[in-house]
């Protein structure tokens, strides 16, 4: 690159991106060429085609634009070795006394800092700006001395440079004082313009491995003297001998060089001492052994590292620090990512104690981000969350999120595609090694917005089992990434295996039920807290399992017995109708379908509790005597579950979202549930939370505490941006739905391979599901298909309806009223369907304010329809009736029954307001009978299906196949 030809200018052209422009000489314009050469003032010198001069030698008036020179531009700004004088001479003091400070520091080892104070005379160059035969002092140029590579060479260079400058300055001093005679008097006056300039030289010695750099920074201080005051004094003599100054300067330079050499020796000794303190290794096997001995990694992590990196020599993984950036080798990259994935603590230990130069954790995070939608952290997902965060910031809101994790079983299967084998354990580190075990699970992390309507998976890993500490390391890494993009995480949701409890303890949570603190500090901001939520649905299943296995649980006031649920199911099977609940044989024989959440939630429901209470208090059945404690426990757990699983902002009762208005009620429900669970004991009197079945109690109590704390932070805190909290946002159900979508992508393959899971994950990540338009635009009436007449002969004799069936029919009649109101838009008819005076006790027991209370006319229609069903079932010997027209036949029979009865006295005048074909009383009877028939026939079909299947094994075998990863 060409350099500037001006005197004492070291600027060089660095290419097109250089900050200083270089200009060639105007060889085509000889007149201006001569002016340029004259201004440069170099003896016996002629420019050639490669000669250049930089932009610093031109004034601002010489430029058209930032870089373009005018056609008449001539360089005038130079730093010449001597001063041209005119009729009036200006003298500048050139040798002030300064103090140089040498600071020696080692960047990596932080060993020693030593100050070397030197007193020397630094001679500054004076730049004279020449314009139209006038010379003035414009600036003082600061010289930088840089000592690198070797101290001796730098000292010699500095000595010769200062020697040359001293010679030049001596020339200035010889003509520094001029006497001028005045016309007014005969006295000789010596006039000197004295400028005091202080230079403070900071000599910083940077040592970086084997590179020693000395930077001398000279700073120009403010002029402390009055510029316009004429002085006849000076701090030294301007007529001193130049040789004497040279000798003094040489002595000072030699002293400084010796001190610098001593500093370098000290730094070298300290570096050798630090290097000896580090553990010397020959291969990575020694690193792995040391980590195992220190118990910083698990056995599984050690086996993977040994299988993948045991044969890699140390020399390949060592990078020498240089000024130029070096590309990290693939071996070092894979080793660093694998070790950091399993244990960030072990990775920090290796970086600190071993003689290896491992990359910073931030570098590893950047490597992860480049792996798009492959196993590991998904960078597009974090980018999407970041855009949401920025949108919220524009609205003045904070992005509140819930982080959740879960595993899904995948099939152990290896396949070759895209130039490599798929199906091995993949942690997103880029390791391809057939010594790794095949993956059997996919660990997925998902982020759900608490105050918004979005959720997105942010990472997944193909694993063969991970310890609690390894899972904790993944969670920390994810929290750090979310914090970096501005998302605030309030909770962490997981289920209840032992490894997750170990993970929570590793994160800092205290899961002791008697001194519980289910939260831990945020790894990026210890002042922030993450609340641990154990999925309530899983905890409810575990409570059901404990009650069913133990048969009886003791409380301070009584016993909770599983047998009452069995007796209720027997009664409902015998009567053929259920008392407004969903309890059936599948709930009793739950062992075959233990993974189904609804079989647990439908047991711990207020409807089952109401049925038990009705059988005990109203029907006085002996098999339900003493069920009061069971009823109370079912209602307590049901209310707490509704509070912990609210999903509708318009929900009522216990299912309403947590607001400040219902804060006290929600707190009482959660505290009551915690107290009830803590008081549970088995038959031997041992508390459940202290036995082998403690997970259900510990997990449910932890969820109650964490959800309440999240509610306090998100809603109750001053200036909170949430008006309410939908606790369903903290549920693991979002991940379950995502797993279902993954299976659906492969044709509802419930056991996908690793490659199929990856493909489905990518597809779901970038594809927005489209939904059909389900808005009702027209008030269309449903088409009623013509039915043929039924050919059954109804038997007139039938048993009277029992009190149990009467209660069930009254409950079904309320559902019939609800359906009629949806289809029949007539205000007088709607008022005639309900009654507040005659309400069955079971309906009063079941209602929470939303049940329809049927009128006597609707109840009579439903009773007659049930009589018709009983006659048909007696005719068919209990088998399902076959053929078409059953509903039409029963409806006609009920219509004949109501012909001579006044079912709806409120509609006596209203039925004459319409035509005979559109008589509203007849329409209500037919609609009520038809809806009741549909409910009963569906119930009969389900009963027959349960009888045929008996022991359900499909669900059990499916789960067993999935758990075997086949």
pLDDT at residue 344, as a whole number: 77
For 345, the token pair is: 């603590």
- Which range (487-491, 581-585, 695-699, 850-854) has the least confidence? 850-854
| pLDDT of the residue at 532 | 95
Residue pair 335/312 in contact (Cβ under 8 Å)? The answer is yes
Q: What's the burial of 235, exposed, middle or buried (CB within 10 Å: 0-12/13-18/19+)?
A: exposed
Cα distance between residue 55 and residue 394, in whole Å: 45
User: Alpha helices, DSSP H only, in 322-378?
Assistant: 330-342, 344-353, 361-369
Residues 6+ apart with CB under 8 A from 332: 316, 317, 319, 358, 359
Q: Which residue has the tokens 């649980």?
A: 553
pLDDT tier for residue 549 given thresholds of 50, 70 and 90: very high
| pLDDT given for residue 898 in this prediction | 83
pLDDT > 70 in the chain, percent: 71
Say which range, 22-26, 65-69, 745-749, has the weakest mean pLDDT.
745-749
Among the residue ranges 176-185, 483-492, 775-784, the one predicted with the least confidence is: 176-185
> What average pLDDT does range 9-26 have in this prediction?
78
What is the model's pLDDT at position 946?
76
Spatial CB neighbours of 504, under 8 Å, sequence gap ≥ 6: 468, 472, 494, 511, 518, 520, 532
Going from N- to C-terminal start, the domains of the chain cover 22-78, 97-125+136-178+191-274, 284-367, 372-535+733-766, 544-700+724-730, 803-949
Q: Are 750 and 758 in contact (CB under 8 A)?
A: no
Lookup: tokens for 698: 């510990």
More confident residue, 876 or 915: 876
pLDDT of 5 over the 50 cut = yes
Q: How far apart are CA 249 and CA 17, in angstroms?
A: 40
Contact, 53 vs 36, CB < 8 A? yes
pLDDT of residue 879: 76
889 burial via Cβ count (<10 Å: 0-12, 13-18, 19+): buried
Band of the pLDDT at 325, cuts 50, 70, 90? Answer: low
Reduce the DSSP state of residue 828 to 3 states and report it: helix
Q: What is the mean pLDDT of residues 16-25?
A: 78
- pLDDT of amino acid 771: 39
What's the whole-number mean pLDDT along residues 546-570? Answer: 93
- For residue 317, count other CB atoms closer than 10 A to its CB: 23
At 107 the three-state DSSP class reads coil
User: Model confidence over 76-117: pLDDT tens digits?
Assistant: 888 776 544 333 333 333 333 333 333 333 333 333 333 333
Residue 222: both structure tokens together:
């403010």
pLDDT digits (tens, 9 = 90+) for 166-175: 444 433 333 3
In the predicted model, what is the mean pLDDT of residues 662-673? Answer: 93
Q: 7: pLDDT confidence band, cut at 50, 70 and 90?
A: confident
Least confident of 191-195, 387-391, 791-795: 191-195
Confidence of residue 781 (pLDDT cuts 50, 70, 90): very low
Residue 681 has pLDDT above 50, yes or no: yes
Give me the phi and psi of 520, to 5 degrees please: -150, 155
Question: Distance (Å, rounded) from C-alpha 624 to C-alpha 633?
Answer: 15
Q: Which residues pair with 141 in a beta bridge?
A: 125
- Residue that wins the pLDDT comparison between 924 and 272: 924
Output the pLDDT for position 770: 37
Contact 721, 668 (CB under 8 A): no
pLDDT bracket for residue 423 (50, 70, 90): confident
Confidence grade of residue 121 (pLDDT, cut at 50, 70, 90): very low
Rounded distance between C-alpha atoms, residue 154 and residue 646, angstroms: 76
Rounded-to-integer distance, Cα 95 and Cα 634, Å: 96
Mean pLDDT, the chain, integer: 75
Burial class (CB in 10 A: 0-12, 13-18, 19+), 578: buried
Whether the CA torsion 698, 699, 705, 709 is positive or negative: it is positive
- Residue 43 and residue 7: Cα distance in Å, rounded? 11
Q: Round to whole Å and give the CA distance between 440 and 809.
A: 51
Range scoring the smallest mean pLDDT among 62-66, 279-283, 828-832, 923-927: 279-283
From the list 336, 361, 356, 358, the residue with the least C-alpha distance to 279 is: 356
For the chain, what's the residue count? 966
Short-list 877, 848, 862, 846, CA closest to 927: 862
Query: pLDDT band at residue 180, thresholds of 50, 70 and 90?
Result: very low
Residue 640 has a pLDDT of 95
Residue keyed to tokens 């979202």: 657
Backbone angles phi, psi at 459, to 5 degrees: -165, 155
Q: In the prediction, which pLDDT does 287 show?
A: 74
User: Residue 731's CB: how many other CB atoms inside 10 A?
Assistant: 22
Q: Which letter does DSSP use for residue 447 in this model? A: E
Lowest-pLDDT range, 415-429, 510-524, 647-661, 928-942?
415-429
Tokens of 663: 């804060």
Closest CA to 927 of 822, 845, 836, 848: 822
* Residue 677: half-sphere exposure toward Cβ, Cα within 13 Å: 32
Residue 516 makes CB contacts below 8 A (sequence gap 6+) with: 510, 698, 701, 702, 705
Half-sphere exposure of 626 (CA within 13 A, CB side): 12
Cβ atoms 7, 40 nearer than 8 A: yes
For residue 835, what pLDDT band results from cuts at 50, 70 and 90? Answer: confident
**682-696, 705-719, 751-765, range with the lowest pLDDT:** 751-765
pLDDT at residue number 104: 33
pLDDT at 327 over 80: no
Query: pLDDT at position 917, please?
Result: 67
**What is the structure's pLDDT at 273?**
65
Q: Which residue has the higher pLDDT, 317 or 604?
A: 604
pLDDT of residue 114: 39
Burial 117-127 (b: 16+ CB within 10 A, else e): ebebbbbbbbe
pLDDT at 233: 39
Instruction: Give the alpha-carbon dihedral of 743, 401, 490, 540, to 10 degrees.
Output: -30
Distances (CA, A) of 904 to 137, 730, 819, 921: 115, 49, 18, 7
- Residue identified by tokens 């089952």 is 608
List the structure tokens of 829.
């008819």
Percentage of residues of the chain with pLDDT beyond 90: 26
Q: Is the pLDDT of residue 70 over 80?
A: yes
pLDDT at 553 over 70: yes
CA-CA distance, 610 to 634, in Å (whole number)? 10
More confident residue, 318 or 249: 249
Q: What is the pLDDT of residues 756-778, one digit of tens each?
A: 888 888 877 754 333 334 444 43
3-state secondary structure at position 261:
helix
pLDDT for the residue numbered 683 = 87
155, 256 Cβ separation under 8 angstroms: yes
**At 860, which helix (H) or strand (E)?**
helix 856-875
The whole-model pTM stands at 0.58
| 565 band by pLDDT with thresholds 50, 70 and 90 | very high
Greatest pairwise CA separation for the chain in angstroms:
157
Tell me how far apart the alpha carbons of residues 743 and 476 are, in angstroms, rounded to a whole number: 29
**Tokens linked to 631:** 């009823």
Does position 315 have pLDDT exceeding 60, yes or no? Answer: no
Which stretch of 193-197, 278-282, 297-301, 743-747 has the lowest confidence by average pLDDT?
Answer: 193-197
Q: Give the separation between CA 673 and CA 642, rounded to whole angstroms.
A: 12
Q: What is the pLDDT of residue 278?
A: 53
What number is the average pLDDT over the span 877-903? 81
pLDDT at residue 670, as a whole number: 94
Segment 479-506 shows an average pLDDT of 92
Q: Is 282 exposed, middle or buried (0-12, 13-18, 19+ CB in 10 A)?
A: exposed
Span 880-905, average pLDDT:
82
Question: Can you give the pLDDT at residue 450?
Answer: 93
Output the pLDDT for position 799: 54
User: Worst-scoring range by mean pLDDT, 118-127, 561-570, 695-704, 920-929?
Assistant: 118-127
Exposure string of 76-89, with b = 16+ CB inside 10 Å and e = fewer, is: bbbbbbebeeeeee
pLDDT at 124: 35
HSE at residue 627, side-chain half, CA atoms within 13 A, is: 26
DSSP string across 192-238: -------EEEEEEEEEETTEEEEEEEEEEPPP-S-TT------SS-T
Which residues, other chains included, contact 37 with Cβ-Cβ below 8 Å and sequence gap of 6+? 25, 45, 46, 47
Contact (Cβ atoms closer than 8 angstroms) between residue 335 and residue 309? yes
Beta strands in 279-430 (DSSP E): 376-377, 400-409, 415-417, 420-422
């Amino acid at each position: 690159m060409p350099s500037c030809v001006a005197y004492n200018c070291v600027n060089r052209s660095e290419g097109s991106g250089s900050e200083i422009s270089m200009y060639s000489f105007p060889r085509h314009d000889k007149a201006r060429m001569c002016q340029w050469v004259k201004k440069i003032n170099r003896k016996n010198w002629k420019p050639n085609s490669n000669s250049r001069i930089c932009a610093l030698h031109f004034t601002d008036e010489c430029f058209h634009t930032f870089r373009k020179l005018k056609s008449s531009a001539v360089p005038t700004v130079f730093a010449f070795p001597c001063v041209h004088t005119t009729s009036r001479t200006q003298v500048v003091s050139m040798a002030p006394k300064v103090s140089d400070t040498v600071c020696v520091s080692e960047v990596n080892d932080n060993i020693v800092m030593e100050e070397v104070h030197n007193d020397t005379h630094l001679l500054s160059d004076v730049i004279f700006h020449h314009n139209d035969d006038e010379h003035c002092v414009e600036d003082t140029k600061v010289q930088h001395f840089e000592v690198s590579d070797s101290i001796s060479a730098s000292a010699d260079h500095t000595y010769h440079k200062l020697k040359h400058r001293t010679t030049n300055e001596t020339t200035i001093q010889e003509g520094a004082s001029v006497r001028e005679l005045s016309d007014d008097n005969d006295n000789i006056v010596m006039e000197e313009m004295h400028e005091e300039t202080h230079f403070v030289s900071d000599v910083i010695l940077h040592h970086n491995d084997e590179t020693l750099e000395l930077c001398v920074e000279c700073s120009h201080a403010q002029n402390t003297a009055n510029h316009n005051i004429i002085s006849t004094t000076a701090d030294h003599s301007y007529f001193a001998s130049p040789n004497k100054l040279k000798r003094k300067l040489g002595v000072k330079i030699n002293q400084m060089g010796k001190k610098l050499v001593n500093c370098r020796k000290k730094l070298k000794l300290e570096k050798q001492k630090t290097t000896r303190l580090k553990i010397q290794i020959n291969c990575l096997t020694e690193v792995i052994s040391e980590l195992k001995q220190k118990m910083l990694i698990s056995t599984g992590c050690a086996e993977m590292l040994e299988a993948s990196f045991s044969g890699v020599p140390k020399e390949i993984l060592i990078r020498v620090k240089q000024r130029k950036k070096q590309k990290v080798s693939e071996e070092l990259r894979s080793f660093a990512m694998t070790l950091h994935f399993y244990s960030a603590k072990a990775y920090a230990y290796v970086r600190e104690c071993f003689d290896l130069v491992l990359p910073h954790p931030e570098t590893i995070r950047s490597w992860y981000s480049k792996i798009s939608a492959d196993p590991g952290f998904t960078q597009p997902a974090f980018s999407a969350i970041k855009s949401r965060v920025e949108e919220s910031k524009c609205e003045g809101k904070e992005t509140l999120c819930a982080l959740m994790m879960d595993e899904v079983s995948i099939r152990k299967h290896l396949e070759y595609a895209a130039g490599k084998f798929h199906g091995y354990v993949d942690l997103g580190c880029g390791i391809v090694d057939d010594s790794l075990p095949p993956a059997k699970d996919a660990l997925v992390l998902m982020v759900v917005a608490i105050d918004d309507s979005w959720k997105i998976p942010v990472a997944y890993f193909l694993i063969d089992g991970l310890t609690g500490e390894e899972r904790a390391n993944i969670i920390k890494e994810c929290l750090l990434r979310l914090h970096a993009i501005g998302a605030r995480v309030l909770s962490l949701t997981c289920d209840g295996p032992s490894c997750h409890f170990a993970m929570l303890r590793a994160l800092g949570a205290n899961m002791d039920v008697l001194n519980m603190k289910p939260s831990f500090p945020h790894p990026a901001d210890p002042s922030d807290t993450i609340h641990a939520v154990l999925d309530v649905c899983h905890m409810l299943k575990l409570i059901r399992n404990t009650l069913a296995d133990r048969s009886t649980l003791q409380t301070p006031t009584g016993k909770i017995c599983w047998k009452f649920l069995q007796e209720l199911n027997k009664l409902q099977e015998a009567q053929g109708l259920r008392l407004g609940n969903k309890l059936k044989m599948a709930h009793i024989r739950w062992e075959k379908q233990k993974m189904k959440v609804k079989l647990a939630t439908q047991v711990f429901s207020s409807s089952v509790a109401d049925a038990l209470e009705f059988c005990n208090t109203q029907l006085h059945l002996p098999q339900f005597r003493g069920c009061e404690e069971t009823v109370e426990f079912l209602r307590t757990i049901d209310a707490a579950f509704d509070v912990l699983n609210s999903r509708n902002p318009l929900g009522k009762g216990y299912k309403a979202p947590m607001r400040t208005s219902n804060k006290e009620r929600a707190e009482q429900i959660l505290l009551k549930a915690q107290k009830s669970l803590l008081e549970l004991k088995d038959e031997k009197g041992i508390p459940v939370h202290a036995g082998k079945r403690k997970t259900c109690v510990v997990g449910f109590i932890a969820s109650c505490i964490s959800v309440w704390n999240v509610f306090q932070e998100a809603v109750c805190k001053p200036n909170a941006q949430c008006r309410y909290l939908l606790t369903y946002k903290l549920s693991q159900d979002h991940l379950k739905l995502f797993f279902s979508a993954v299976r659906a992508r492969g044709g509802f393959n419930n056991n996908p391979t690793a490659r199929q899971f990856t493909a489905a994950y990518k597809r779901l990540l970038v594809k927005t599901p489209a939904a059909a338009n389900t808005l009702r635009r027209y008030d269309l009436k449903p088409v009623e298909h013509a039915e043929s007449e039924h050919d059954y002969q109804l038997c007139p004799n039938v048993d009277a309806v029992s009190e149990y069936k009467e209660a069930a029919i009254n409950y079904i009649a309320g559902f019939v009223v609800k359906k009629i109101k949806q289809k029949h838009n007539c205000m007088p008819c709607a008022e005639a369907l309900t009654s507040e005076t005659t309400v069955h006790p079971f309906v009063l027991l079941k209602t929470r304010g939303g049940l329809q209370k049927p009128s006597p006319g609707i109840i009579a229609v439903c009773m007659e329809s049930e009589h018709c069903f009983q006659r048909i079932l007696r005719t068919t010997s209990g088998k399902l009736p076959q053929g078409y027209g059953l509903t039409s036949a029963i409806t006609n029979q009920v219509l004949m029954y109501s012909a001579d009865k006044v079912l709806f006295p409120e509609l006596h005048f209203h039925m004459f307001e319409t035509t005979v074909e559109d008589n509203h009383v007849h329409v209500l009877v037919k609609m009520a009978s038809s809806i009741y028939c549909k409910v009963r026939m569906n119930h009969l079909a389900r009963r027959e299906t349960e009888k045929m299947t008996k022991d359900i094994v499909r669900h059990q075998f499916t789960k067993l196949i999935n758990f075997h990863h086949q």
